[in-house]
């Protein structure tokens, strides 16, 4: 065979081999920029960072997401619109920030009061087993006309009732106090007689020191400790029903999502679920350590919220939800779905699960039985 012909065959064979080898060896790396609504120092941003690290590993480095903190590209409360416009590829926040656009936004954060008392797992059940995820995507894409999808990622709750300059023994003590509250929760507290003030986190402590506010709600545990609240007030009440099981979101531009490979999409789904669990259990331990430090270092009095305040909150929220349902069809559609799901799983769970306080009080007894008092008050309120 002539040398020229041999060379032609050799080149053809080499090209055929490279056509199979090159795509695997030259895998394209996709780089995305996501931004959160949180300062870089918050533990909530740790949740975001953990997610991006897992995506990197689960995709073998083919998908890299930069976890930017609040304000690095757009102001914190503009991440939803910025994701829609593809100024950023995605975001990390919580849907109740968008109640100014549509009141149903709060329902996708399981706030207030777990909607109908749902905890984290109940809400995830509704999302993944009760049609909730489809409604969430419908909310953004059809109701708000935004090119966005969302996933639940951040179990930043339960959150404490808050910090108070003086003790509160009942609803009457609660009324008239000027307290930092935000969003739809502020509406609920206003119905209960509280004067609410909308303040960003960084202004809470200075406002408290100047006597502008009498009380404040932030997050609880580690975040309250870092903010400096134990150095201002000594009375810390828990639990609260306002964010008893609130859950934050990961949002992604729909075109960006559709541009990912099937494997990359599955990696994101898996990373979201893993982050929810792994960050959540770490945060629980951080909060426990923070509570101990509050008590021992700052002399914080951690007290149980008077049960009648919790009952009054549920009643006020139910009133607001009923009013909104009467004038907002999509709100009604979502909350009806959530309550139908809750009516199925919550009674079964109550039947199957032992009360958390049962074994906790046996092994780590308290001097009083606050959990029992709360339950008894709730039963009396229902009978009324």
- Summarize the confidence of residues 50-76 as an average pLDDT: 97
306 CB-near residues (< 8 Å, 6+ apart): 168, 169, 170, 171, 174
- pLDDT of 212 above 60: yes
Alpha-carbon gap, residue 322 to 90, rounded angstroms: 33
pLDDT at res. 326:
98
- pLDDT of 214 above 50: yes
Q: Are strands 162-164 and 215-216 parallel, antiparallel or unpaired?
A: antiparallel
- pLDDT of 18 above 80: no
Alpha-carbon gap, residue 49 to 34, rounded angstroms: 10
On average, the pLDDT of the chain sits at 89
- Summarize the confidence of residues 259-278 as an average pLDDT: 98
Cis amide prior to 88 (ω within 30 degrees): no
- pLDDT of 279 above 80: yes
Measured in whole angstroms, how far is the alpha carbon of residue 223 from the centre of its chain? 14
Tokens of 55: 């995506």
pLDDT at res. 175:
86
DSSP letter string over 62-92? SEEEEEEPTTSSS-GGGHHHHHHTTSSSEEE
Alpha-carbon gap, residue 155 to 277, rounded angstroms: 8
pLDDT bucket at 207, cuts 50 / 70 / 90 = very high
Q: Which of 269, 283, 265 lies closest to 156, judged by CA?
A: 283
Widest Cα–Cα separation across the chain: 103
What DSSP designation does 354 have?
P
pLDDT bucket at 374, cuts 50 / 70 / 90 = low
Q: Report phi then psi at 201, rounded to 5.
A: -55, -40
Cis amide prior to 40 (ω within 30 degrees): no
Q: Residues of the chain with pLDDT > 90: what percent?
A: 81
Of 179-188, 194-203, 248-257, minimum mean pLDDT range:
194-203
- pLDDT of 19 above 90: no
- pLDDT of 372 above 50: no
Of 91-100, 152-161, 199-208, 278-287, minimum mean pLDDT range:
199-208
202/151: higher pLDDT: 151
Q: Which residues pair with 68 in a beta bridge?
A: 35
pLDDT bucket at 201, cuts 50 / 70 / 90 = confident
Give 109-167 pLDDT, tens digit per residue: 999 999 999 999 999 999 999 999 999 999 999 999 999 999 999 999 999 999 999 99
- Contact between 139 and 108 under an 8 Å Cβ cutoff? The reply is yes
pLDDT bucket at 231, cuts 50 / 70 / 90 = very high
- pLDDT of 376 above 60: no
Q: Are strands 248-253 and 148-154 parallel, antiparallel or unpaired?
A: antiparallel
pLDDT at res. 380:
57
18/338: higher pLDDT: 338
17/180: higher pLDDT: 180
Give 86-112 pLDDT, tens digit per residue: 999 999 999 999 999 999 999 999 999
- Summarize the confidence of residues 249-255 as an average pLDDT: 98
pLDDT at res. 373:
54
Measured in whole angstroms, how far is the alpha carbon of residue 198 from the centre of its chain? 19
- pLDDT of 379 above 60: no
pLDDT at res. 22:
39
The pTM for the full model equals 0.88
- Summarize the confidence of residues 315-323 as an average pLDDT: 97
pLDDT at res. 202:
80
What DSSP designation does 108 have?
G
User: In a 3-state reduction of DSSP, which class is residue 366?
Assistant: coil
Alpha-carbon gap, residue 50 to 301, rounded angstroms: 33
Q: Which residues pair with 252 in a beta bridge?
A: 90, 149
pLDDT at res. 77:
92
């Amino acid at each position: 065979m002539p040398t020229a012909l041999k060379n032609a065959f050799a080149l053809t064979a080499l090209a055929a081999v490279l056509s199979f080898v090159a795509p695997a060896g030259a895998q394209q790396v996709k780089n995305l920029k996501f931004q959160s609504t949180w300062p870089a120092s918050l533990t909530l941003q740790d949740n975001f960072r953990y997610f991006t690290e897992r995506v990197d590993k689960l995709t073998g480095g083919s998908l890299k997401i930069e976890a930017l903190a609040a304000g690095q590209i757009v102001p914190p409360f503009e991440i939803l619109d910025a994701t829609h416009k593809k100024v950023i590829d995605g975001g990390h926040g919580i849907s109740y920030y968008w109640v100014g656009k549509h009141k149903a936004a709060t329902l996708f954060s399981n706030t207030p009061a777990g909607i109908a008392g749902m905890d984290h797992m109940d809400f995830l059940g509704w999302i993944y087993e009760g049609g909730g995820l489809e409604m969430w995507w419908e909310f953004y894409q059809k109701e708000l006309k935004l090119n966005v999808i969302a996933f639940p990622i951040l179990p930043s709750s339960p959150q404490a009732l808050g910090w108070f300059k003086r003790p509160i023994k009942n609803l009457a003590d609660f009324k008239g106090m000027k307290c930092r509250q935000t969003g739809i929760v502020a509406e609920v507290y206003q119905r209960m007689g509280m004067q609410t003030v909308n303040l960003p986190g960084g202004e809470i402590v200075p406002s408290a020191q100047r006597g502008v506010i009498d009380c404040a709600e932030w997050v609880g545990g580690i975040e309250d400790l870092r903010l400096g609240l134990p150095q201002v007030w000594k009375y810390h009440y828990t639990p609260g029903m306002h964010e008893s099981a609130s859950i934050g979101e990961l949002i992604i531009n729909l075109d960006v999502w559709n541009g990912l490979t099937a494997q990359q999409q599955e990696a994101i789904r898996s990373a979201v679920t893993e982050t929810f669990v792994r960050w959540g259990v770490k945060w629980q331990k951080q909060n426990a350590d923070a509570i101990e430090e509050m008590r021992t270092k700052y002399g914080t009095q951690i007290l149980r919220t008077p049960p009648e305040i919790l009952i009054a909150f549920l009643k006020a929220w139910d009133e607001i939800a009923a009013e909104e349902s009467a004038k907002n069809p999509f709100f009604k559609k979502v909350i009806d779905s959530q309550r139908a799901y809750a009516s199925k799983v919550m009674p079964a769970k109550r039947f199957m699960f032992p009360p958390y306080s049962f074994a906790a009080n046996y092994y780590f007894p308290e001097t009083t039985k606050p959990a029992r008092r709360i339950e008894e008050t709730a039963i009396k309120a229902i009978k009324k």
